[in-house]
Structures are given as C-alpha cells and as structure tokens.
Amino acid sequence: MRIIPKPAENTPMGGTYFLSGKTFSTDKAFASLIPTVEKRLDLRQGEGDVAFLVDEKIPPQGYNIEVNEEGVKVYASEKQGAFYGIITLQQYKKTGVPYGTIFDKPRFSYRGIMLDVARHFFDKEVVKETLEQMAYYKLNVFHWHLTDDQGWRVEIKKYPHLAEVGCVRKDESLNWLGKMKGEEYGRGCYFTQDDIREIVAFAAERFITVIPEIDMPGHLTSALALFPELSCEKKPLEVSPKWGVKDTVGCIGNPDFFAFTHDIIDEICDLFPSPYFHIGGDEVPRTKWKSCPACQALMQEKNLKKEGDLQGYFTRETVAYLASKGKRTIGWNEILRTNDIEENVIVQWWTGKDETLQWLSKGGETIVSPCKVCYLDYPYIATNLEKIYGLGPEAMGASPEQKGVLGIEAPLWTEVIYDKKKYDFQLYPRLQAVAEAGWTPLSRKNYKDFTERLASFLEELKEQGINFCPPEKYNPVGWKGLRQKWIVGRKFLREPNVEVNL
C-alpha cells in the first residue's frame, strides 16, 4: 500500500489498474472538481473508466474507492470527500491503483499546520508550496500567525503605515542568547490584501481553511511601535529585534485600543472567510497594567479583582465582537488563566494540560498542539518523527476518544528558521507524520509501517527540490542521538540556524 495517510480500512484483492490514458465521469454534484481531476490525474472526460459518484451515507470528508479490471469508482457524500478520493488516486498515479476497496474517513475533522511569518517572512510562493503539500496529505487547516512583537505582516487599509513600519526591525537576534546580526530585517516583507485573497483562494481550491492569527493584547510591539499611545506607558517604541516575551502590551483601560483592534478585526474578517479567528492571547505580562492609571481605573469600574482579569475582560469583549462578525474565537490555552471565558471559545493547548483537561471536562473544545510533542521548530532530537506521529489527545493524558477535541495542529515557529532550506528541513517529513496522526484511526497506526510507506514520498520531495530531513536524522537513536543531544546542548542557543540535527 502506497498511501499517506493510511486509510481507515482497505482490502487489496490482487491486480493493478493503471490510470494512464483513461477517461472519467462525475455526478453533477462533483462537476466543479472536473479541473482538479484533469490536472491531478491527467484524465479526460469520457465514458468513465473512473467514475465519481454521490453516496450520502458516507461521512463528511470520507470517501470509498472500488477498483477492479473494469475501472475505478469513487464515492463520497460531498466535494471535500471526493477531493480526498482524488488525492488517494493521485498518490497511486505512477504505480497504478491496486484492485480492492478503500473505506476511508478522518479521525479528526481538524488537521492543521501553523506557520509563523512574523519572526521570519516566507513569501506567497513558499506558502502556496506548503498548502499544496498539505493538500497532498489531506491536511485541511492552515493557521497563519501573521503578527507578533518582531513583525506585522499583513496590509491594513485603514492604517496604511502599519505594515510598512511594523514589518521592519532595525536589527535581529542571531540566537537565543542575544547575539545581534547588525543589520536591518524585513523591509517590504508583508502580504498585501491582494496576496491574502490569492492565497486564501488557492487554499480553498484544495479544501484548506485558512485561519488568521492576530495576536492580542500581548505580542503586539510591532503595532505599538507605530501607535505607542495604545500602550500603557505611551512612550516611543520600535519593532522588537529580539526573541522572547515583551512586557509592553495593549492598554486595556484605553477605549482607543479596543477601537484599534476592532478596526483590524473588521479588515481581517473581510479577507478570510474562515469561520474562525485566532486572537493568540498567550504570554501576556501584567506588569504594565499594575502601574497604569487607566487600567487600574477600569479594574475598579468593572470590579475586577486582579490584573489577570483585565485580559479576561478584553477576551470577552473581543469574543463578542468577533461573534457579531460571524466568527468563532480561538486562543492559546493561557486565555483560561483569566475569568469567565465564553463556552464557545476554542482553546489551543500548547502547555498547561491540567487547565485544558478541566476545560474539556466542562464541555469546552480544544485543538491539541503540545509543544513538547509537535513544535516543528524544535530540533529532531527534541521532537523526533516518532513523537510527532503519536500526536493526539492521548499526548495530553486524555482518552483517545476524548469529547471536545476538534483535532490536532503542529506549529512551525520561525525565530530560528532564517531561510527556505532550514524551513524545509524542519517541516518535512514531519508534515506527513502530522497528516497520518490526524487522519488514521489509532488502531491502524504503526510507526514502522509509516516509515516504510514514507520512503517513496521522500523520493518525490527530492524530485521537487525540497530539502527534507533524511531518515538517518529524523529519528536519532544510539550514538547519533547522543551526538545530537551534545550539539543541541552546546550549540543550539548560540547557532540555532546550523543543522544541529546531525
């Protein structure tokens, strides 16, 4: 079997059907997929050696395939499932499709990759390549981290200088210890609104939902550099050249800060048709709020007992505003450390599993992204391929069938990813492991079997010029593992962009 992710159920029957030179037909419901079939399978419309048929009993995103000497039949209840049937046939295009049956559906409806373009910018061609790879492995959510202390990467028409100023830092860290590069980074490195629309449309053709993240009320220095009056201190700022958490945050006691965030939300919602909007909400220091007269006055007015409740107040107001725009809010799990978070908020778990488990016990929903399991910027010695393959609610001590888990997502933060070569090395073949972790039933998963199937897909990446991490490096054991540990311990903090995964 040559499929990633592994199907929920397949029964081979001996024999192979080759698609080359064949024709296809579709039910009217799948007519919009005709260009996709022609492009991905190189088939032409005709009598229908390959037929795409509606079967309303098949669950969303699922598909069934029947193959014999007479041809191929692909069944689905809706277009996304039919698309995944096309993807499975595409993976078999070179080798032929084995006779037999496939009954397939995803374990989780949400299967995502997150890309941080705030720290280091990767242009729309890199984003499109990533989206295409995601589609090829049936991943369906692209979480786009567009802003942070070190960069603002999206054009906002109402504030035309926001991206121009917020995308540039005068210097930048070369490592986690504070060594500086000594030159400017990022001028012109942001996405225009036309770029955004182009990428969102490209993703939609591949049944990928693009979720924007505008981090607030912390991780906002790149915006406050242009509008320091929206911070508590109201002093001149610059886009942060260093990594790490900054204690300059939005002033919750200033109504103009809410007006600003609402303006940003308005334009971002117009660009992204996704039903979700990610507000970040992680790593928000409260130190400035303690000494801010406006924040303290708001606390007294609203009877808030501690500074952390200011974030809760901001979150509730923002959730309500997003709801008025038809959007559901997602936030990192730190938003649970405030008061009275709305039940319909989706919590993305990256740390602090106890609070997330408690949230689930109350009927809340979550996306599983534990940093120690699936952060893609980590060296392979810390987050090897087998660990990522095990991603799921069980990674947070929950039941594999835990109610409220929408799915999984692996973030690619880019503080120490300076170029496309390193980007590829950190992302592939981890992307393939995330795809199978999110799709394949737990009872069908087998890491050794996965790596055997992976081999031919690595050859495809090689043909495409993608600098993937090779097998001898992605799951280091024995002497190789010890050597990696030594290199990471000695060099990673000082030279993070070298290939420490030796």
Geometric angle at alpha carbon 406, from 404 and 410, rounded to 5°:
130
Nearest of 189, 187, 185 to residue 123 by alpha carbon: 189
What are 175's two structure tokens?
């490592």
Geometric angle at alpha carbon 209, from 38 and 359, rounded to 5°:
145
Using CA atoms, how far apart are residues 17 and 88, in angstroms rounded to an integer?
14
> Does the CA dihedral 118-122-128-131 come out positive or negative?
negative
Q: Which amino acid is at 483?
A: R
Geometric angle at alpha carbon 203, from 342 and 418, rounded to 5°:
90
Using CA atoms, how far apart are residues 327 and 501, in angstroms rounded to an integer?
40
Q: Which amino acid is at 189?
A: C
Query: Which one of the listed residues 55, 171, 263, 283 is annotated catalytic?
Result: 283
Taking a C-beta distance cutoff of 8 angstroms, is the pair 149, 176 a contact? no
Name residue, tokens 């008061």. Answer: 339
Using CA atoms, how far apart are residues 358 and 351, in angstroms rounded to an integer?
13
Q: Judging by DSSP bridges, how do beta strands 50-54 and 23-26 pair with one another? A: parallel
Using CA atoms, how far apart are residues 168 and 189, in angstroms rounded to an integer?
8
Sequence-ordered list of residues with C-beta below 8 angstroms from that of 278, at least 6 positions apart, any chain: 143, 211, 212, 213, 214, 329, 330, 331, 348
Find the DSSP H helices in 303-410: 308-324, 353-361, 371-374, 385-389
Sequence-ordered list of residues with C-beta below 8 angstroms from that of 296, at least 6 positions apart, any chain: 253, 289, 290
Query: Which one of the listed residues 120, 145, 219, 278 is annotated catalytic?
Result: 219
Quick check: is 148 catalytic? yes
Quick check: is 195 catalytic? no
Query: Which one of the listed residues 66, 78, 116, 148 is annotated catalytic?
Result: 148
Q: Judging by DSSP bridges, how do beta strands 63-68 and 71-76 pair with one another? A: antiparallel
Q: Which amino acid is at 438?
A: G
Quick check: is 342 catalytic? no
Burial of 204: CB neighbours in 10 Å, binned 0-12, 13-18, 19+: middle
Using CA atoms, how far apart are residues 241 and 184, in angstroms rounded to an integer?
9
Using CA atoms, how far apart are residues 245 and 225, in angstroms rounded to an integer?
16
* Residues with catalytic roles: 148, 219, 283
